[in-house]
Structure 1
Amino acid sequence: MKDLDHMLRDIEREVELTSHFIGKDALDTRVMTAMEKVPRHEFLPEDLRYQAYENGPVPIGLGQTISQPYIVALMTDLLDSKPSDVILEIGTGSGYQAAVLAQLVRQVFTVEILERLAKDAGKRLKNLGYANITVRNGNGYDGWPEHAPFDGIIVTAAAPHVPPALIAQLRIGAKLVIPLGTPYGYQELVLMEKTAPDEMQSKTILGVRFVPLTGIHDKPEI
């Protein structure tokens, strides 16, 4: 059974293997420290905790997964967040990605459409002492307008297009990280930056595989 140190080494090797795509040979040391601090096994079902520190996704129930550690670290790194930032996450899942972000920023607001997962994640995060994470059961496609604008947004499920509400709720100069593509088909991790009220610059990072963003409305990409 792999341990935390093995997981961190796997992430470093994966970064080296994909450096041509992601444009760097190493992730921010702050991100790697956050990955080291979060006990990933606490976010998995008990019967699957033996897989906690393997560099792969793991089922968490209701057709959802906890993402591959490398992808969690990469998406966190791409946000380029600061300690004073307020971040929105769409797709709480088990709460693992939010816990990693919470090590790096002032506040994380996270939305999960599946009520049971939202309740379980909220309880888990509270029990683990993550006081700067707020979980809400709701449709992530609509974001969380009450707390906008956000200093960064991270989406942990694949959408066919960028939800317009998320663009509207992003601060100018801030970044959005989202997997775009078809459900269970070809998807790309995309980094976007808001350069003006109605302008986004985007960059494709690499191919990924995420569960679909559910509750999404049929609206065009902005």
Structure 2
Amino acid sequence: MQQKDSFRHKGLRNRLVQELMQKRIVDRHVLEAIGKVPRHLFLESSFINFAYQDKAFPIGAGQTISQPYTVALQSQLLEVEPGEKVLEVGTGSGYQAAVLIEMGVKLFSIERQSELYQRSTRLLRELGYQGRFFLGDGYEGLEAQAPFDKIIVTAGAPFIPRKLLTQIKIGGIMVIPLGDKKQVLTRITRLDDDEFEQEQIEECAFVPMLNGIV
């Protein structure tokens, strides 16, 4: 598959970055990554002309690609440093994964939908994004690869998955949309073995986080 990333696409990304800066995205590493990742290649062809609007779009299997602001905000809240181990729960389209890899993290990503897993991992490899991708249940995390410096959850969880909490390093951060029908983007910091600090950021809307593999 030939991937095209034209000067026009790059210009649209630059405009998107300016828009995100006006929406209080200030982390320059996040902005630089958003400016580099060809979001249009992660969308179905019918949406390509709208790829750099700050909107979510369907990607099949009942899932969506998050709007760029949401991707940028979650990435900013993670406070990642190059070389950190990051677990992403919900590979989805692969766009959030690409942004984190551009930021220099060692990415481990888990996806429960086999259709999306196959599509996104193939695309990420074609685009040269190196990470470790797994088909599995996000509620279980990746215990064999833990602990992680940071964890990002890209689906709305009705409760905090206990197994994910145990896979964060002490001092590490998890960013997760919490709630059932309405969610609040929440940042959780692990203070020690049994103590966690919770910070509510803002209301958000994600597809639900589900159990099992399909």
Structure 2 SS opposite 1:188? strand
Aligned: 1:191 with 2:190? no
Aligned to 1:39: 38
The question of 1:5 aligning with 2:4 is answered: no
Corresponding residue number in structure 2 for 1:74: 73
- Measured in 2, the distance between the counterparts of 1:106 and 1:10 equals 25
User: Separation in 1 of the partners of 2:13 and 2:28?
Assistant: 16
- Residue segments in structure 1 that go unaligned for 5+ positions in a row: 16-25, 217-222
User: Which residue of structure 2 lines up, in the alignment, with residue 147 of structure 1?
Assistant: 145
Aligned length: 203
**TM-score normalised by length of structure 1:** 0.88
Partner of 1:204: 200
SS of the residue aligned with 1:139? coil
> Which secondary structure state, in structure 2, belongs to the residue aligned with residue 27 of structure 1?
coil
- The 5-angstrom pairing of residues 29-178 of structure 1 reads 29-131=28-130, 133-178=131-176
For 1:121 and 1:80, the matched residues in 2 are separated by 25
Where does residue 213 of structure 1 map in the other structure?
Answer: 209
- Moved >3 Å (runs of 4+): none
| 8 Å contact from structure 1 (residues 87, 150) kept in 2 | yes
In structure 2, distance between residues paired with 1:106 and 1:175: 14
TM-score w.r.t. the length of structure 2 is: 0.92
**Post-superposition shift, 1:5?**
2.0
Residue 6 of structure 1: CA displacement? 2.2
The residue type paired with residue 10 of structure 1 is E
For residues 168 and 117 of structure 1, the distance between their equivalents in structure 2, rounded to whole angstroms, comes to 27
Aligned to 2:4: none
SS at match of 2:115: helix
Counterpart AA for 1:166: L
Cα deviations across residues 32-60 of structure 1 (Å, max 9, x unaligned)? 00111101011111111112100010110
Instruction: Letter of the 1:120 partner, please give it.
Output: R
* Residue 143 of structure 1: how far off its partner (Å): 0.2
Query: What corresponds to 1:27 in structure 2?
Result: 26
Q: Does structure 2 retain, via aligned residues, the 8 Å contact 1:121–1:135?
A: no
Task: Look up the equivalent residue of 1:55 and give its one-letter code.
Answer: D
Aligned residue type for 1:179:
P
Instruction: Kindly indicate whether the alpha-carbon contact (under 8 Å) linking 1:88 and 1:110 is maintained by their aligned counterparts in 2.
Output: yes
The SS at the match of 1:30 is helix
Identity of aligned residues (%): 40
Q: In structure 2, the residue corresponding to 1:142 is in which secondary structure?
A: coil
Equivalents in 1 of 2:176, 2:103: separation in Å? Answer: 19
Q: CA offset at residue 134 of structure 1? A: 1.4
Letter matched to residue 183 of structure 2? Q
1:72-94 CA distance string (max 9 Å, x none): 00100111111120100001001
* 1:105 CA drift (Å): 3.0
| Deviation digits for residues 73-119 of structure 1 (CA, Å, limit 9, x no counterpart) | 01001111111201000010010001000012331010110001001
